[in-house]
Amino acid sequence: MTRKTVFSALTVALFLCGVTAAQTAYPSGGQSAAHNKPAGVSTKLPPRVLQGFEKDYPKVKIQGVRQNAINGQPVYEISFLDGQTQRNVVYNEYGAALIHTEEIAPGAVPPNVQSAVQVQCPGCKIAKAAKTTENNNVRYTLTMEERDVRGHVRHRTETFTSDGTMMGVK
């Protein structure tokens, strides 16, 4: 697995667990986005990243920022609420968006992906869903509930491509 894949997988896993960059934020230097965030959230971004974000999402408030690296290059994950939709967007140091992740309703998962879920996990119910777009490729990370013979609920998280192929299965 490449670092980029690991970072993307970690971002989506934290996102589905309800952990946003706001909860893992740490200063990254650069210009403060204080005018665009709620009180108490540390969000420092380089000027180019802030400009790129404000161009893409002019009317939203930043919930948090997390700095990381992909292939040794700094990236900045910005978490925010866009209307009722929780989103995380990863920007490079030049202000270009690289990875978009958004929470979606389980019913918004495409039918072919829902069918693949039933093949991979018969009887499972999709509890949470996130749609990630990276380099024009879409994938869905789903947290599914399955019941054992005693009726206990277990959660299972899997990622599917937009054509319904489960990722990580050969």
Q: What is the pLDDT of residues 10-59, one digit of tens each?
A: 455 445 445 444 444 333 333 344 444 444 344 589 999 999 999 999 99
Burial 76-113, CB ≥16 within 10 A → b, else e: bbbbbbeeeebbbbbbbbebebbbebbbbeeeebeeeb
> Do 140 and 129 contact (CB within 8 A), yes or no?
yes
Query: In degrees, to the nearest 5, what angle opens at C-alpha 109 toward C-alphas 104 and 110?
Result: 145
Q: What is the pLDDT of residues 119-166, one digit of tens each?
A: 988 888 999 999 999 999 999 999 999 888 888 899 999 999 999 999
Q: Write the CB contacts of 113 (distance below 8 Å, at least 6 apart in sequence).
A: 140, 142, 160, 162, 164
Alpha-carbon gap, residue 157 to 146, rounded angstroms: 11
Q: What confidence category does residue 8 fall into, taking pLDDT thresholds of 50, 70 and 90? A: low
Phi-psi region of 140 (alpha: psi -120 to 50; beta: other; left: phi over 0): beta
Q: What is the pLDDT of residues 69-99, one digit of tens each?
A: 999 999 999 999 999 999 999 999 999 999 9
Domain layout of the chain by residue ranges: 3-102, 106-161
Report the DSSP pairing between strands 137-147 and 97-104.
unpaired
pTM value surpassing 0.75: no
Q: Residue with structure tokens 């030049």?
A: 94
